[in-house]
Amino acid sequence: MSIPTRVKLVEVGPRDGLQNEKQDVPAAVKIELVHRLQAAGLKEIEVTSFVSPKWVPQMADNAEVMAGIHRLPGVRYSVLTPNLKGFEAALLTKPDEIVVFASASEAFSQKNINCSIAESIERFAPVVDAARAAGIYVRGAMSCSVGCPYEGEVAPARVGYLAGLMRSIGVQHVGVADTIGVGTPLKVQRAMEATLRHFDLDDVSGHFHDTYGQALANTLICLQMGVWQFDASVAGLGGCPYAKGATGNVASEDVVYLLHGMGIETGIDLDKLIDAGQFISDFLGRSTQSRAGKALFNKRPD
């Protein structure tokens, strides 16, 4: 399989990146972050989630954020919807895409959303039906596709099982997520191969956390398989509240630096992306987690 000449990045920083921040991030800051990301050329932005504020208080301003965004033509704005109630609230804000999520690990599913994998899929089926009836694209996130904080290693067969269930309820695209960042290239390759038995190459993406510094290596193995869509988070924001020790998503700046260095088009202005990462890092009062972002920012003239 030849390496793709163009890659699409889904920017998950505003949602997946910020959801676990302890300090309150005002809606105005989230909106400004989205504006900076789209100005940098991002065409796919995961903006917020419509979950109970009891569980994720950081996303309680979801409707305000969606209403405040100046939408650009050609940009797809997505939101996470865990159930029908969340979807109905999201629908009022006119998202272009919704994201449903399930785990390849039975233990993680129980800890995260208090139900089995099969039960989670039953819960999502009416959400998927409603979204597709409304003309809204449906993406599925498959968490713990390589390893689980409770079960340890997750077999590729479990990933294939989940992908098949996702396909059966009408999910149009799935992301293979290494939620706790324990994956190494061959393990990720096997998880992706199991997924590709149920979804076409154009309908899969990689979502890698950099806990053990493997995210770019895992991205590269997927590129070599022909995968051309990946999630990333500006400044390396994010983690997982139910996965102890899981650090941030792979930084968007690092992925773009890798891709541009390989001659792969992204449509993203790396300098503007670094500025977006600095903006949110400055607000949070810490330095960016992006290695490329930090290096290139420090090289700028004073």
Residues 11-44 pLDDT 10s: 999 999 999 898 999 999 999 999 999 999 999 9
Confidence of residue 45 (pLDDT cuts 50, 70, 90): very high
- Supply the pLDDT for residue 245: 56
- Supply the pLDDT for residue 115: 86
Work out the percent of the chain whose per-residue pLDDT is above 70. 97
User: Are the CB atoms for 244 and 213 separated by under 8 Å?
Assistant: no
Among 100, 67, 236, which Cα is nearest to 174's? 100
- Supply the pLDDT for residue 240: 53
Handedness of CA 182, 188, 191, 195 (dihedral sign): positive
Cα 248 to its chain centre, rounded Å, is: 11
User: Are the CB atoms for 176 and 141 separated by under 8 Å?
Assistant: no
CB atoms within 10 A of CB 299: 7
Q: Average pLDDT in the 117-138 region?
A: 96
- Supply the pLDDT for residue 28: 98
Q: Would you say residue 265 has pLDDT above 80?
A: yes
Ranking 8-12, 20-24, 84-88, 127-131 by mean pLDDT, the lowest is 20-24
User: Are the CB atoms for 93 and 67 separated by under 8 Å?
Assistant: yes
| CA dist., res. 150 & res. 178, Å (int) | 14
Model pTM?
A: 0.95
Catalytic residue, candidates 144, 148, 222, 240: 240
Instruction: Please confirm, yes or no, whether 222 is among the known catalytic residues.
Output: no
User: Are the CB atoms for 223 and 187 separated by under 8 Å?
Assistant: no
- Supply the pLDDT for residue 200: 98
Q: Average pLDDT in the 260-273 region?
A: 98
Residues 190-249 pLDDT 10s: 999 999 999 999 999 999 999 999 999 999 999 999 999 999 999 999 865 455 555 689
- Supply the pLDDT for residue 232: 98
